[in-house]
Amino acid sequence: MQSFAAAFLAFVSVLGSLPARSSSEPVKLQLERFEQVGGEGIADCSKLRVRKYNRTVFALDGTLHMLKDLDSSYEVTVRVAYSTMGNNQFNEYPMKLPQKSICRLLVEEYVDYQFIWGESTTLPKVAKGTKEFCPFPKGEYLFRDMVPDASFIPPVVPAGLWRMSIVVLNPGDVVVLQLRIFYRVVKGKGM
């Protein structure tokens, strides 16, 4: 799923604009929910949801059905928003994220972030050094209680409720699909 790769990449990118804190507490990412906005002809996420895996862990589970091949005419960018009050009022986080063709994204970023979802999905695997991987193929991708590997998140990220939107555009200025992941960043004793 290009969305997760882009999303987590964005998450890493946003860190550069955050105030540095001296804290080095471990950080945990707790999934809250997943939402599709528009793009019913491109993806069907109605069978994908965040579910409680056990007392403390939430996981992404189900099926992401990509209804068409996404060729290089599809572009992707990521928007990240933070809810200061944790009340679902979100403020867009200022970021300068490149918007790029999904095919470039697959070989330039996705390849380095696949570890986040690991073996718990049937998403395409892109081998390191791949020069071209295109299109992102249509099909049903399974998520089996996927718990993101949060080890890449530096401790400077503010705790609280976050929303990451993977935005798909085609042509480059028309939003055709948004996949939104809501999650909490939890630190220290809150874990």
Ligand X SMILES: *[C@@H]1O[C@H](CO)[C@@H](O)[C@H](O)[C@H]1NC(C)=O
Which residues of the shown chain bind ligand X in the complex (CB under 6 A)? 53-57, 147
Nearer to ligand X, 28 or 79 (CB): 28
Nearer to ligand X, 72 or 120 (CB): 120
The least distance separating ligand X from the CB of residue 59, rounded to whole angstroms, comes to 8
Give the CB-nearest residue to ligand X: 54
Contact between residue 181 and residue 161 where contact means Cβ atoms under 8 Å apart: no
What residues contact residue 23 under an 8 Å CB cut-off, 6+ apart? 155, 156, 187
The Cα-based distances of 129 to 70, 95, 111, 119, 158 in angstroms read: 21, 28, 9, 20, 34
Contact between residue 179 and residue 96 where contact means Cβ atoms under 8 Å apart: no
Contact between residue 138 and residue 63 where contact means Cβ atoms under 8 Å apart: no
The least distance separating ligand X from the CB of residue 53, rounded to whole angstroms, comes to 6
The least distance separating ligand X from the CB of residue 85, rounded to whole angstroms, comes to 28
Nearer to ligand X, 57 or 191 (CB): 57
The least distance separating ligand X from the CB of residue 55, rounded to whole angstroms, comes to 4
Nearer to ligand X, 22 or 54 (CB): 54
Contact between residue 2 and residue 103 where contact means Cβ atoms under 8 Å apart: no
